[in-house]
Structure 1
Amino acid sequence: MTHAQDNRIAFVNGEFTPLSAASIPVMDRGFLFGDGVYEVTAVIERRFADDDAHLTRLDRSLREIDIPNPYSASVWTEIERDLARRNGLENGLIYIQVTRGVAERNFQYPTGLAPTIVMFPQFKRVQDNPIIETGAKVVTLPDQRWSRCDIKSTSLLAQVLTKQAAQQAGANEAWMVRDGSITEGASSTAFIVTKEGQIVTRRLSSAVLPGVTRRTIMKIAHGMRLDLVERNITPDEVLTASEAFYTSASTIAVPVVAFDGQTVGEGHPGPVFQTLYKTYLETIMAQTPEY
């Protein structure tokens, strides 16, 4: 979609406006410093997937960097639904970006700034990604991010460079490595399934984002009485695993069939992944009402 053809409606600081006409001041601290946070919720057949959890994480991220949450969860929800209706969004993503606001350029920030709020949709069927059938290629790259990866910051330069390097290497995603262990994907949570059938993902800490889709997938696994543990994963363990996959709001879950140029498992999406993915979609369709 080119800029001239972009008919989407955005929400900017309390007003709905054509995205092509939307703007923020040059002195916005989000533009100058990346001083803000964001969230993204998938919309699947007019259903907002895991939205309460995304808004809870948004509130936490804002509190962690001392930005007052401009809206209650119920108001955020109302605006999201209104934005989806105005755009005719049945399948896609809703992004929320909140910055500290506008002030003269200075590292220190004054108190009492009004946060800048931007929301916009993307149109895609996250549940119909062809890579679900073929599987993804993943490469390892150094984790170059800051020490508070648990905050969903708009400062994403490290992820941009990592994603670009992965693409140039012919991969779909990068799993970042720090101190010999995988932290997470450049925009996803990493999982493996051992040959003994144990599902493994890294324990939450300031080194990783508390993935919302991660949490739901884990809840489904526990409900199915699957063996699941949280611990560090080394790159070598991925190569001896029977399966690997990653999760995110914008992809739901994606099977990994190649890792650093070597085949993972049988080289195709495995049964544990397929069961969890299918159950996730069934759960969203059964338990989440249409907007």
Structure 2
Amino acid sequence: MTNNTRIWQFISDGTRFKLVETGNSRTMDEGSQHLSGGVYTTLRTFEHERALRLEDHFDRLEHSAELQGKHVVIPRYSLRSGLCEVLDYFPESDVRLRIHCAFVENGEIRVYILAEKFTPYPESLYENGVAVKSIDYQRENPIAKATNFIDQTSELRKTKPASIHEYILVAKDGTLLEGMTSNIFIVKEGKIWTAEKGVLPGITRQIVLEVIAAAGFETILSGYPRNEVNFAEEAFITSASRGVLPVTKFDNQNVGEGIPGMITRQIRSDYLLWLKKELRPI
């Protein structure tokens, strides 16, 4: 397999910076696994050099580090400049970016930028929906976006059948938490359910919640019971790389009529319109 992900160490004194390319890896997750553990955030660009809520990503890095007992202050201005320099290595495409703050044994915190060409999901997935499978699994510290989750779920990711787009984590009480790399929303009787506790507070999830509120739908911030998914009318997952992606099969059973529903299609359409207004240069 081709090494698609390039890795740079970002070195800064707060105003000046330099990038030192340290290697590459087949995937972004493998790149993170080769670095010291820590916290990370992942995003994609639009129109090559525009992004969504980059400040929120910086905030999440600092907060995730705090939850791990580490004090991290992101040099935001210089890191933005470093990200722009990385984009120059991918002149004709959008880019998937990861900022990885590695906790080194001597107490040092090193910042790395991982980058690869971003390939959008095919439109056919949005037209037909995807299949997901539930698994009894929970994050140790769901609020923190820590790299140990990548290590802990590595084998699950490698052995996931090609027919399954995403695994959905299920809480001990049997309610749906989130996808392994996404958040999940369930639509029943015009109301939209999504877990609030026990999940990583995804940045795309927050945007979608704002879109849902603006569209006038009621949101229930609670995990939907797995044993009642057969009564749901629609479902979708959200993430930075997917946006709003319909789910039409859950544990090998159709969700609703087995096609993307009207509410899901409206939320995705509204989300895409929201993007056009909210994108900002890195």
TM tier relative to shorter chain: 0.7 to 0.9
User: Match for residue 12 of structure 1?
Assistant: 9
Deviation for aligned residue 1:38? 0.7
User: Match for residue 190 of structure 1?
Assistant: 184
Give deviations 1:212-257, integer Å, cap 9, x for gaps. 1000000011112111110121112322111001111122221111
**Secondary structure in 2 matching 1:44:** coil
The partner residue of 2:261 within 261, 270, 281 is 270
1:159·1:187 contact (CA, 8 Å) conserved in 2?
no
Q: Hey, what's the Cα distance between the residues in 2 that align with 1:123 and 1:175?
A: 26
Distance 1:132 1:50, change over 3 A: farther
Letter in 1 for 2:37: D
Distance 1:2 1:19, change over 3 A: farther
- Number of matched pairs: 267
Q: When the two structures are superposed, what TM-score results if normalisation uses the length of structure 2?
A: 0.85
The partner residue of 2:156 within 147, 152, 162 is 162
Q: Hey, what's the Cα distance between the residues in 2 that align with 1:139 and 1:181?
A: 14
Give deviations 1:259-291, integer Å, cap 9, x for gaps. 111100111111212122222222222222345
User: Match for residue 229 of structure 1?
Assistant: 220
Q: Hey, what's the Cα distance between the residues in 2 that align with 1:90 and 1:49?
A: 17
User: Match for residue 25 of structure 1?
Assistant: none
1:139·1:166 contact (CA, 8 Å) conserved in 2?
no
Distance 1:129 1:50, change over 3 A: farther
Which has more strand, going by share of residues? 2
Q: Greater CA deviation, 257-266 or 68-77?
A: 68-77
Letter in 2 for 1:202: A
Residues 1:137 and 2:107 are matched in the alignment: no
User: Match for residue 57 of structure 1?
Assistant: 60
Long gaps (5+) in structure 1: 23-28, 104-112
State how 1:1-291 maps to structure 2 within 5 Å. 2-3=2-3, 10-14=7-11, 15-18=18-21, 20=23, 35-46=37-48, 47-88=50-91, 90-103=93-106, 113-126=107-120, 128-143=122-137, 145-146=139-140, 148-155=141-148, 156-167=150-161, 170-179=163-172, 180-194=174-188, 196-203=189-196, 205=197, 207-291=198-282
Deviation for aligned residue 1:21? 6.8
Q: When the two structures are superposed, what TM-score results if normalisation uses the length of structure 1?
A: 0.82
RMSD (Å), alpha carbons: 2.5
**Secondary structure in 2 matching 1:231:** coil
Deviation for aligned residue 1:154? 0.5
